[in-house]
A and B are shown apart, each in its own frame.
Chain A
């Protein structure tokens, strides 16, 4: 619409700024809103007539998760330890969105340092699920998913280390895309677990996810893990006909421990796709049962190293002690929340003298087994169809005292990060308590085209998805 000149970018920015102002109090999805900055950006776009430049996102507001740097905006990772931190530069993904005319209206709530699956571990307090405020929006990108689901923003940029895009997208009824490791530059994403972190998007439709990926994907000299693999025009290959999808249902992802309604949604989606002409087959990923233990060793080990930089010297908070060591200990005691401390301690333990081989090295070997499982099944089928999480959205406060129970519910999302493959969550049904149920497609490394196509197909077959009430 902005490209056709029907509305101005400033009108779009003002519209969404007003929606955020009206509804954010109920959700706590945004932790920082920059209405003036976005309006300034929009007026500039209107003045320079970007139509001539053919910008692909001209005037489209995109929210940014609070662990991705936007020059001049706060970037706190929802942590006390980064209070007052102002990003001195744009993340590469942000710079690419900016180059296509996107507007940055604000920063979204998250579990502190992206550690969590419910957005309850935030220094700003929990985000609520727009479908029912008594329920969590998922996490760690719960603010992003809640904001998109409630129509406070058309799309959000987020990160996924073990499901942090896909699980909240599923809990809130959005599309959540975690690209392949190396597909999108992480320069400017605050590191949590560097061999698992990936930048991706949360949107209202598969088409929007494809378009945003097209913009942010590709090699970046500033992130040596970003791959020099050509970027297809994802948004133009969605409807690709002639290809009959071969869809694998991993039996380990539909076994005991999966809630009935979650399982039924996946089975229903499989039936719908099969009726449409896809071939559906049962496959096996036998090492899935090791995934949660494997992930929580590798992720926490890497986190314990990455978060060592928060020592009270270079960022935000400093709590003085009698000597530098005491200053570190006190700063970190006051600056980090409980889940972050727990993970740092666990990771330090896994890397400590005498335990390294038993935990970390062992976990890296198990990771190879998990990778091989996927390599083998992607010889038999094009995509996998699975639950995103074995559980439906749960109540705020229900799982905060039982970290292991919360970790166990990450089983179907952490595998994609361990193997470095791509995955997408698509809303498919509503549960008996009226909350969204998503399904997940997993594809091989750099197989974004095929997962997007499968997700697009299912989205078409499903028809329009309902919207949460109360955000008119």
Chain B
């Protein structure tokens, strides 16, 4: 693949795996057709004269902003935890991610 050339095909199976979204067979078929069409349309960007142009990750110029590093009380911890499907003592309860054996 040449670096500046857009690629016209999207592997929906692979990308949905990366995105952690399980698709039904019907969704996979539909998304493949729709996303191929959308990605095909995006080839128009190849015609944009961007040589030597700086990227703009944000509109305008962003500057780093500092604030004093002082601890402040938060009343939110218990309420935030209570929004989780499972929680205990203001903590999220999540499944183990490592094999215990």
List the interface of chain A (C-beta within 8 A of B).
84-86, 88-89, 181-182, 195-196, 221, 224-225, 287, 289-290, 292-294, 296-297, 304, 308, 311-318, 323-325, 327-330, 332-333, 336, 338, 341-342, 344-346, 348-349, 352, 354-355, 357-359, 361-369, 371, 403-404, 407, 417-421, 445
Contact = CB atoms under 8 A, between A and B. Distances in A.
B21 A349 contact: no
Interface of B: 1, 3-7, 10, 12, 15-16, 18-24, 27, 31, 34-35, 37-39, 41-42, 44-45, 47-50, 53-60, 62, 65, 67, 76, 79-80, 82-86, 92, 94-95, 97
Contact of A445 (B24, B49, B60, B76): B60
Contacts of A327: 95
Nearest to A294: B45
Contacts of B23: 333, 341
Contacts of B48: 287, 290, 362, 365-366, 369
Contact of A88 (B4, B41, B53, B80): B80
B15 A345 contact: yes
Given A314-B83, A341-B21, A225 B58 contact: yes
Contacts of B57: 195, 364
Nearest to A85: B83
Given A344-B21, A348-B16, A369-B49, 15 more contacts: A89-B76, A195-B57, A224-B65, A297-B45, A308-B20, A318-B85, A341-B23, A345-B10, A346-B10, A346-B35, A349-B35, A354-B1, A367-B55, A417-B59, A421-B59
10 contacts: A195-B57, A289-B44, A290-B44, A313-B85, A314-B83, A329-B21, A333-B21, A346-B35, A349-B35, A362-B4
A44 to B, nearest CB: 20
A335 B31 CA distance: 17
A311 B20 contact: yes
Contact of A315 (B54, B60, B83): B83
Q: Which of the listed residues B27, B38, B58, B62 has the most CB atoms from chain A within 10 Å of its own CB?
A: B38
A77 to B, nearest CB: 13
Contacts of B35: 342, 345-346, 349
A362 B47 CA distance: 11
Q: A-side binding surface: helix, strand, loop or mixed?
A: helix
Nearest to B76: A88
Given A221-B67, A224-B65, A304-B19, A404 B34 contact: yes
A418 B59 contact: yes
Contacts of B86: 318
A195 B45 CA distance: 20
Nearest to A405: B37
Contact of A332 (B21, B34, B65, B67): B21
Given A317-B85, A364-B55, A181 B60 contact: yes
A17 B54 CA distance: 51
B44 A86 contact: no
Given A324-B95, A420-B58, A355 B21 contact: no
A363 B45 contact: yes
Given A330-B22, A336-B21, A366-B50, A293 B41 contact: yes
A366 to B, nearest CB: 5
A369 B47 CA distance: 12
A221 B22 CA distance: 39
A333 B38 CA distance: 21
B39 A349 contact: yes
Nearest to B42: A293
Contacts of B27: 338, 341
B21 to A, nearest CB: 5
A341 B31 CA distance: 9
A361 B50 CA distance: 10
A330 B22 CA distance: 6
Contacts of B4: 357-358, 362
A53 B21 CA distance: 52
Contacts of B47: 290
Nearest to A194: B58
B22 A333 contact: yes
B59 A357 contact: no
B3 to A, nearest CB: 6
A195 to B, nearest CB: 5
Q: Which of the listed residues A88, A330, A336 has the most CB atoms from chain B within 10 Å of its own CB?
A: A88
A311 B19 CA distance: 11
A76 B67 CA distance: 31
Contacts of A332: 19-22
A315 B82 CA distance: 9
Contacts of A182: 60
A228 to B, nearest CB: 9
A404 B55 contact: no
Q: Which of the listed residues A293, A352, A357, A363 has the most CB atoms from chain B within 10 Å of its own CB?
A: A293
A445 B59 CA distance: 10
A315 B84 contact: yes
A86 B37 CA distance: 38
Contacts of A89: 76
